[in-house]
Homo-oligomer: A and B are copies of this chain.
């Protein structure tokens, strides 16, 4: 029996009729706005190479998606059986239909999760699947998807147009030569697909093969990195290069938002030790804390928006990490302290009109306690969208509940999809736009704001704030 699969046009709207009516009205005005994607992880080659394809259904939906395989793993499905490649090349499942079958049989695990919402939206809206995904329907759905994926209508660039993406920023190592971005620029896509500089592998002295990254930095920057000062100059060169290539922002991940400007001599000393392979103790933590201030200083000077993603303890499961590598071994959030930690940086640059810092947290208790009050004061600080586990209907509601009363809408950075799953981009923005519309409808029906104000707030949250925060405002 075929279970028909459809998407409710009113999904995510409160069922109370007056609120639902307002939500619908607000949503209709923002539903089709072009998608602004200032932060994400789509590989640029997907758009740069005109022959790029999204792969098989298993390659598109299962193998590379840690949101998906971690849930199956949690219920006892070995990652090998899902085709996740091992670091040492130990063989894993290669039959994509079998991978798909296992996924489909466990699709019920995603009930009530945002991944479940995105997957349904992609399958139904992007690919036109008409029956609910189950173990029984798995192979029919696979056939359907495989056929679509083989057709030119599902080439990434075609989908980019169909998705109505206005601008998409990728995330790129600071040592990247941006070949793909060059190609994109040459073909007139430079304003639509932009790089973002992420220097974590250089700034974090504990990164695997840090020395290799530094060597590569010397090569690509054309500046011999022999010590702290040439290191800083080489990074500045990369920033200038990325900016020339269309970048509007940099991105930084850290376990804590601790920042601290070290005396020059100390930064030099730590860097010299690192070059000699002798860094130890708290050298790495202190150097990162220092470099965050330095990167803020550069941000003031070159106008690149600084993004800070904080609070994820990476690779919690050491065995899985050892076997499958990063983004497989469970990155787990930790409690985060922002008020004291960000103090030195905000005191130095937070009131400078040239500066813009966007912070992302995995500690929801800091939304109302620390981040909204900070963003509601410092001109240079914006609060990023609900991130990762909280990029979900209830996560978004908690975020809006916790921050708008204190920070208003203008101190928020709007939405970003933060995804490497290109085909899920519209679904993710759609959830945000629906939740925002419904949340604002709650304000309207309780007369906290009038509908005219709500309309402007909806526009700001759906698109305007992302553009202005990331200085993409010059685009349509």
Q: Which residues of A are in contact with B by a Cβ distance under 8 Å?
A: 7-8, 10-16, 18-19, 70-71, 73-76, 108-114, 116-117, 313, 316-320, 330, 332-335, 337, 339-340, 343, 346-347, 350-351, 353, 362-365, 368-370, 372-379, 389-390, 392-395, 398, 401-402, 404-411, 443, 445-449, 453, 456-457
Q: For the complex formed, measure the closest distance between the CB of A329 and the CB atoms of chain B, giving whole angstroms.
A: 8
- Which residues of B are found within 8 Å of A333, using beta-carbon distances? 339, 369-370, 373
- Which residues of B are found within 8 Å of A351, using beta-carbon distances? 317, 319-320
Closest to A333 in B: B369
Tell me the complex Cα distance, A18–B15, Å.
Answer: 7
Tell me the complex Cα distance, A334–B336, Å.
Answer: 11
Q: For the complex formed, measure the closest distance between the CB of A468 and the CB atoms of chain B, giving whole angstroms.
A: 11
- Which residues of B are found within 8 Å of A332, using beta-carbon distances? 339, 370, 373-374, 377
Closest to A336 in B: B369
Q: A74-B378, A109-B410 are in contact. Are A7 and B368 (CB under 8 A)?
A: no
- Which residues of B are found within 8 Å of A453, using beta-carbon distances? 108, 111
- Which residues of B are found within 8 Å of A343, using beta-carbon distances? 316
- Which residues of B are found within 8 Å of A445, using beta-carbon distances? 15
- Which residues of B are found within 8 Å of A11, using beta-carbon distances? 446-448
Tell me the complex Cα distance, A337–B313, Å.
Answer: 13
B16 in contact with A16 (CB, 8 Å): yes
Q: A317-B350, A351-B319, A374-B330 are in contact. Are A457 and B405 (CB under 8 A)?
A: no
- Which residues of B are found within 8 Å of A374, using beta-carbon distances? 316, 330, 332
Tell me the complex Cα distance, A74–B75, Å.
Answer: 45
Q: For the complex formed, measure the closest distance between the CB of A159 and the CB atoms of chain B, giving whole angstroms.
A: 25
- Which residues of B are found within 8 Å of A110, using beta-carbon distances? 408
Contact of A13 among B74, B334, B365, B446 (CB under 8 A): B446
- Which residues of B are found within 8 Å of A347, using beta-carbon distances? 316-319
Q: For the complex formed, measure the closest distance between the CB of A61 and the CB atoms of chain B, giving whole angstroms.
A: 17
Tell me the complex Cα distance, A337–B334, Å.
Answer: 8
B353 in contact with A373 (CB, 8 Å): no
Kindly name the residue among A11, A330, A340, A398 whose own CB sees the greatest number of chain B CB atoms within 10 A: A330
Closest to A371 in B: B332
Q: Can you offer 8 A-B residue contacts whose CB atoms are under 8 A?
A: A11-B448, A16-B16, A73-B379, A74-B407, A111-B457, A319-B347, A332-B373, A335-B335
Closest to A401 in B: B394
Kindly name the residue among A11, A332, A343 whose own CB sees the greatest number of chain B CB atoms within 10 A: A332
Closest to A454 in B: B111
- Which residues of B are found within 8 Å of A313, using beta-carbon distances? 339-340
A368 in contact with B339 (CB, 8 Å): no
B372 in contact with A389 (CB, 8 Å): yes
A330 in contact with B373 (CB, 8 Å): yes
B389 in contact with A111 (CB, 8 Å): no
Tell me the complex Cα distance, A364–B320, Å.
Answer: 28
Q: For the complex formed, measure the closest distance between the CB of A413 and the CB atoms of chain B, giving whole angstroms.
A: 13
- Which residues of B are found within 8 Å of A330, using beta-carbon distances? 373-374, 377-378
Q: A316-B343, A377-B70, A446-B15 are in contact. Are A393 and B408 (CB under 8 A)?
A: no
Tell me the complex Cα distance, A375–B330, Å.
Answer: 10
Kindly name the residue among A10, A19, A365, A446 whose own CB sees the greatest number of chain B CB atoms within 10 A: A446
A340 in contact with B334 (CB, 8 Å): yes
- Which residues of B are found within 8 Å of A405, using beta-carbon distances? 112-114, 389, 392-395
Tell me the complex Cα distance, A113–B453, Å.
Answer: 12
B377 in contact with A74 (CB, 8 Å): yes
Tell me the complex Cα distance, A319–B348, Å.
Answer: 9
Tell me the complex Cα distance, A392–B13, Å.
Answer: 24
Contact of A113 among B112, B401, B406 (CB under 8 A): B406
A10 in contact with B339 (CB, 8 Å): no
Tell me the complex Cα distance, A448–B473, Å.
Answer: 34
Contact of A109 among B12, B378, B401, B408 (CB under 8 A): B408
B368 in contact with A346 (CB, 8 Å): no
Q: For the complex formed, measure the closest distance between the CB of A462 and the CB atoms of chain B, giving whole angstroms.
A: 15
Closest to A439 in B: B112
Q: For the complex formed, measure the closest distance between the CB of A132 and the CB atoms of chain B, giving whole angstroms.
A: 8
- Which residues of B are found within 8 Å of A363, using beta-carbon distances? 365, 369
A12 in contact with B447 (CB, 8 Å): yes
Tell me the complex Cα distance, A184–B117, Å.
Answer: 49
A457 in contact with B112 (CB, 8 Å): yes
